[in-house]
Structure 1
Amino acid sequence: MTQTSDAVNVAVRAVTIMGTGTRADIEAVTHQDMVNREAIDEPPACRGTGPDAVWATALWLRSAFADLHHEPHEVVAEGDLVVIHTTMSGRHTGPFVVYDENASVKHAFAPTGRTFAVTQTHWVRMRDGLCIEHWANRDDMGMGEQLGWVPPTPRYLLKCLRAKREAVRADKVAR
């Protein structure tokens, strides 16, 4: 196996285990200095570096989406960069809580029970055979439309308001 194919395998594995992998799986593909550039909208625990932060992101996603799955379609590698085009799918079974730049609850999308499937492109920088940096392009609008977030009904807005209040309370208790 070449160094490029090793990097591709590790990067693809890093994306696909977000839905079902164990903590040990994440540690096996994550550099100690790993930074997720998408964590700005995620809970405080996701904003750090290394396997702890990546594991926190996986748990955050899993708390909102059952049956979370990434299906890779195309992968391109050049130098230390691997780009993976995927479809992410799942079912919205828990509140999806989004945070602001100060790590405070910004929005909470109440569970709808609906399924979704949206394309994403994940960019993964590699170092020492492990993932050290991640950022993504996602179809958040498509996901929101499939899950009934966009356009919201008045009833759904009330559910989201209730979910946000609960998330703010839980966040205060956690701090």
Structure 2
Amino acid sequence: MSAIENKAVVQEFYDQWNAGTIDFERLVDADVANHQPDRDPERGLDNFRRAIQGVVTAVPDSKWTTIRLIAEGDLVVCHNTWSGTYGGDVFRGIPTVEGSRFSVEHVHIYRLTEGRIAEHWVVRDDLGMMVQIGAVSTPK
């Protein structure tokens, strides 16, 4: 697939997430590798789906806004804003203010194979989110 077609797949993934239903089988490879900064890489569609469901559970009104999509070959970089209302009272073991709104920027890198997401890496602003949801405070 072309870089333009790969960008369209990644954008469709976010559009579907925003709409509340992701067609994982069509958009994500069965052996997808998900690289997160806070854990070892996980492989497989079930693990990827479970990771997304964890985000949806914690932030049911998640909204992803694409700032820019850049593609070269089989790689797509998505710079986006993630916003929503944090529904839990704990984030990574730290107490939070339940119902806190947040908006943070992320950079996701996707490798696609045959029109499906085969690998995912992310750089997140976890500290910015933790400040906004009351898990940590900024120095005064």
Same fold (TM over 0.5): yes
Name the residue aligned to 1:163.
none
Is the 1:20–1:68 Cα contact (8 Å) retained in structure 2? Answer: no
Cα RMSD (Å): 2.4
Q: Report the secondary structure of 2:57's partner residue.
A: helix
2:71 matched to which residue of 1? 77
Letter in 2 for 1:81: L
1:22 CA drift (Å): 2.8
Contact kept? 1:16, 1:71, Cα under 8 Å? no
If the length of structure 2 is used for normalisation, what is the TM-score?
0.84
Task: Report the TM-score when normalising by structure 1.
Answer: 0.69
Identity value in percent: 29
The answer for the alignment partner of 1:38 in structure 2 is 36
**Bigger Rg, which one:** 1
Question: In structure 2, the residue corresponding to 1:94 is in which secondary structure?
Answer: coil
Q: For the residues of structure 2 that align with 1:41 and 1:96, how far apart are their CA atoms?
A: 18
Between Structure 1 and Structure 2, which shows a larger proportion of strand residues?
A: 2
Q: Which residue of 2 aligns with 1:138?
A: 124
User: 1:66: Cα distance to partner?
Assistant: 2.4
**If each structure's helix is expressed as a fraction of its own residues, which one has the higher value?**
1
What is the number of equivalent residue pairs in this alignment?
A: 138
The alignment status of 1:127 with 2:113, answered yes or no, reads yes
Q: Bigger relative contact order, structure 1 or 2, given CA contacts below 8 A and separation 6+?
A: 2
Q: 1:39 to 1:20 in 2, by over 3 A?
A: farther
Unaligned runs of 5+ in 1: 99-106, 153-175
1:17-67: per-residue Cα shift (whole Å, max 9, x none)? 4455435x122110111011017549xxxx642321121012101111121
In 2, Cα distance between the equivalents of 1:21 and 1:76? 25
